[in-house]
Structure 1
Amino acid sequence: MVEIVIGAVSDIFAANAVQGHLMVALGRTATFQAPLRFASFVHQFEQIVLRAIPIVALISLVVGAIITQQTILQLRQFGVTIFVVDLAAILMFREIGVLLAAIMVAGRSGSAITAEIGAMRIREEFDALQVMGVDPHQALMLPRVAALVVGMPLLAFVGSMSGLAGAAVVAKFYGDIPFDIFTDRLRGAMTVTSVVVGLIKAPFMGFLVGLLASIEGMKVAGSSESLGQRTTSSVVKSIFVVIVADGLFAIFFAAIGL
């Protein structure tokens, strides 16, 4: 128990330290004291965001279909199957779309970031950059975290739309709801607030994934075993944190009436 508490406190201090370095790096870039590594940002955006679109869309499509099928099964008993459209619209844009995107990014890109940074630590590339006068946080971590923050709303939107597509297909063939009726009902059920709430959460979740991945990468202690342990820890912690963050956001938005 004591080790768990000590580990948690250590993680909090490490998170604050890395976050501080990232904020300083961002401030230096914003004030033109350090070069904007645009090429690195574009490369990371392609690797982390654009290449993740197919898998995020596929997973969201399947999950949307499963949720809709189970919902229709229950609503049919009360003769209100049409309300499955309202539920799908709210769930996909407010919760499921962004949450699935964050989990997939944590497993796919968070682990890659940890492995890359950890491998650099093993090869002492971090020390080499510092000797050359290059801030590793500026050169390596900031482009990756920035790509996650900028790209997560896109992935969340793609996931939400894919989930709705899966819901529409299942509603057509399992709930006897034609596509035109589904679309008309969707227009009334889907509000700007639901879309905005999901998109607001996305950048924060992207930042959390990038922050935790960077922290775990910095903890690699010079062996392949340590690299494997930290990569696993990065995925587990990132998924746990984004789920907790989603719950906290849900409570917050409910408290302010959104």
Structure 2
Amino acid sequence: MRAPANFSQDGSEGGVVRFSGDLSLSSLGTLPNRLDGVDGKVATVDLSGVDRIDTVGAWVVHRFASKHDAQIQGLDEDGQNLFDQVAAADVPVDRRPARVSPFARVVGEIGDAVVTTGRTLYGLLGFLGATTLAFLAVMRHPRRFRYNAVVQQFEAVGVAALGIVGLMSFLIGIVIAQQGAVQLRQFGAEAFTINLVGRITLRELGVLMTAIMVAGRSGSAFAAQLGTMKLTEEIDAMRTIGVSPMEALVVPRTMAAIMLMPLLGFYASLIAIMGGGLLCAWQLDIPFVTYVQRIREVVPITDLFVGLIKAPVFGAIIAIAGCFQGMQVEADAEQVGSRTTSAVVQAIFLVIVLDAFFAVFFTWLGWD
């Protein structure tokens, strides 16, 4: 059994402290506290009497020698290597972060955001290509098409959304009619409120607000569902048994969104027109029959075509963005929430960008 760690102090030769015994963690005892009480000059630390030493013991001796600016003697090759490693690790840590100018920090954050956006768009384009290939594979092999999954998504994306979409559209129709009537009354043109409500709901707001609502409702659900399945390794299990996750999970959701968005958009436009008609009858004393006849006269059929053409594109963008973000979840439960948020933000952003593109495109076609 080795002797416990100890030391003795000799005042000769400029002051010598000789260590002995076992300088390991289990045998140090009160040695560090007793070393703190050593006074006087210490020129040499002698370790020739030490039986064993570990990293903690080496650190205690190194700290003592550094405090008194003493030389360490009596080490063999292994002991010297250990002390060299301890000395190399004895570097003060600067806990203060490097000072960065506000301008450089803002530019760096902008650069990081641009890089992240570019990578996300690149990944989204790749996912769009994978989804297209999955659609083609299902078309080549119709038996692999999952009708039950598509019908289930019909209910989740369309039927269950009728209530909230209808309420939102009805209120938007009332707001448009009320604000339009207030402004047009200044020019004695309250009757043109009907033109405003009819054209803006069928052409723009009906489909656009429905897309935003579907992105917040169904797009987030797609991301959360697929993210949870990715987290629980259900998607990996599907690949193991030979089932394509793109065909089984992404294609039904994308197809449901593409097919139901035109119906939801048309439904939202009709409800918004009804809301505008209610306000016109109440505030402008325009009978509802007259309101409907005026809508038929002033709203061209091209406005309906514009809304119906944009709707499936918006549905595809919403579904692909939601599924893409859900498939990006890794082994971290926190990512389910962050990816769901990213799916909603990404879908709404892309929908608005595409809506602006369609506005310019249809104007160029003369459908204005």
TM-score bucket of the superposed structures, by smaller chain: over 0.9
Q: Distance in 2 between matches of 1:104 and 1:177?
A: 31
2:299 is matched with 190
2:8 is matched with none
The superposition leaves residues 141-176 of structure 1 with CA deviations (integer Å, 9 ceiling, x where unpaired) of 100000000000000001000100000000011112
- 1:159 alignment partner, one of 268, 275, 280: 268
Q: Cα distance, 1:240 vs. partner?
A: 1.5
Q: Distance in 2 between matches of 1:160 and 1:110?
A: 21
Q: TM-score, normalised by structure 2?
A: 0.69
Aligned length: 258
Q: Distance in 1 between matches of 2:317 and 2:185?
A: 40
1:57 is matched with 166
Q: TM-score, normalised by structure 1?
A: 0.97
1:25 counterpart = 2:134: yes
Greater strand content: 2
Q: Give SS of 2:286's match.
A: coil
Q: Distance in 1 between matches of 2:346 and 2:305?
A: 26
2:191 is matched with 82
- For residues 180 and 33 of structure 1, do their structure 2 counterparts lie closer, same or farther at Cα, with a shift above 3 Å needed? closer
Q: Give SS of 2:144's match.
A: coil
Q: Which one has more relative contact order, counting CA pairs under 8 Å at least 6 apart?
A: 1
Q: Give SS of 1:223's match.
A: coil
Q: Distance in 2 between matches of 1:78 and 1:149?
A: 42
Q: Distance in 2 between matches of 1:251 and 1:52?
A: 30
- Answer yes or no: is the 8 Å Cα contact 1:152–1:202 preserved in 2: yes
Taking only aligned residues, the RMSD between alpha carbons, in angstroms, comes to 1.0
Q: Distance in 1 between matches of 2:188 and 2:111?
A: 55
1:222 counterpart = 2:343: no
- 1:107 alignment partner, one of 197, 201, 216: 216
Q: Distance in 2 between matches of 1:160 and 1:33?
A: 35
Alignment of 1:31-46 (within 5 A): 31-32=140-141, 35-46=144-155
- 2:357 alignment partner, one of 234, 248, 252: 248
Q: Give SS of 1:3's match.
A: helix
Q: Cα distance, 1:78 vs. partner?
A: 1.3
Moved more, 56-65 or 14-23: 14-23
Q: Which of the pair has more CA radius of gyration?
A: 2
Q: Cα distance, 1:79 vs. partner?
A: 1.4
- Answer yes or no: is the 8 Å Cα contact 1:64–1:167 preserved in 2: yes
Q: Cα distance, 1:98 vs. partner?
A: 0.1
Q: Distance in 2 between matches of 1:115 and 1:46?
A: 17
The answer for unaligned runs of 5 or more in structure 2 is: 1-109
The answer for unaligned runs of 5 or more in structure 1 is: none
2:228 is matched with 119
2:203 is matched with 94
- 1:129 alignment partner, one of 238, 250, 260: 238
1:236 counterpart = 2:312: no
Q: Distance in 2 between matches of 1:42 and 1:34?
A: 16
Q: Distance in 2 between matches of 1:34 and 1:94?
A: 38
- 2:247 alignment partner, one of 130, 134, 138: 138
After TM superposition, which residue ranges in structure 1, 4 or more long, deviate above 2 angstroms? Answer: none
The aligned amino acid for 2:333 is: S
Q: Cα distance, 1:5 vs. partner?
A: 1.7
Q: Give SS of 2:176's match.
A: helix
Q: Give SS of 1:133's match.
A: coil
